[in-house]
Chain A
């Protein structure tokens, strides 16, 4: 089956610093990748959609200057949380769409970000 990895799996950073999270499709090329954030006991909230080689499309209310997304290749997308604050602490999850298996999207294991 298709595998999506995320790195790091958890990160602690100080307020005001930036953090980069990587999302990789390990055995397929992902035409589209999605970034979600999830607060405890809540549903997944889509932050942005990224297509390789083009600018990400952000959902309403998501600050594109704060959450920088780069989809540099068909197997790698990165999310950078700039000038992180404690309210950015959350579980960040990516998913990837391959186009090989119909509509199916494959999710990464998630990254736990804690901003102190």
Chain B
């Protein structure tokens, strides 16, 4: 119930392509869904986040698509660049100040 399942585990995309990472959850009490980017040896950094009252949120090249009925959400990275090569984590939580439940992570490699 508390799990967030993330796929794929790894992803290789050509420069300029679209990277898509998917997450699914079971707990309908989750009401905050962030995506984090992590480079090797660094802490995660918030990329973009969404609440379940909207179906899509876009910030620059990054878009979250949210499907409440299917309990799924995804990250789309448009015009992927080699500098986007990192590990991406989806997460969810149920209340402000509450603990985040993380997905398993996706290692993205963007080839030049």
Partners in one complex: yes
State the A residues within 8 Å of B (CB). 4, 6, 31-32, 34, 41-44, 46, 49, 91, 93, 95, 97, 99, 102-110, 112
Count A-B contacts at CB 8 Å. 57
Residues of B within 8 A of A104 (CB): 34, 46, 49
State whether A93 touches B100 (Cβ < 8 A). Answer: no
State whether A43 touches B102 (Cβ < 8 A). Answer: yes
State whether B96 touches A108 (Cβ < 8 A). Answer: no
Is B12 positioned at the interface, with any CB of A under 8 Å from its CB? no
Measured CA separation A112–B42 after assembly (Å): 10
16 A-B residue pairs with CB within 8 Å: A4-B43, A41-B107, A43-B105, A44-B89, A46-B99, A46-B100, A91-B41, A93-B44, A97-B96, A102-B32, A103-B34, A103-B49, A104-B34, A107-B36, A107-B44, A108-B43
Distance from B8 Cβ to chain A, minimum over Cβ atoms (Å): 14
Given contacts A104-B46, A110-B43, 18 further A-B contacts (CB under 8 A): A32-B97, A34-B100, A41-B105, A42-B105, A43-B105, A44-B89, A46-B99, A46-B100, A49-B99, A91-B41, A93-B43, A95-B100, A97-B96, A97-B97, A99-B96, A104-B49, A107-B46, A112-B41
Q: Could you tell me which residues of chain B, from 68 to 112, have a CB within 8 Å of some CB in chain A? A: 89, 93, 95-97, 99-100, 102-105, 107
Q: How many residues of B contact A (CB 8 A)?
A: 22
Is B45 positioned at the interface, with any CB of A under 8 Å from its CB? yes
Measured CA separation A112–B105 after assembly (Å): 19
Residues of B within 8 A of A106 (CB): 46
Residues of B within 8 A of A46 (CB): 99-100
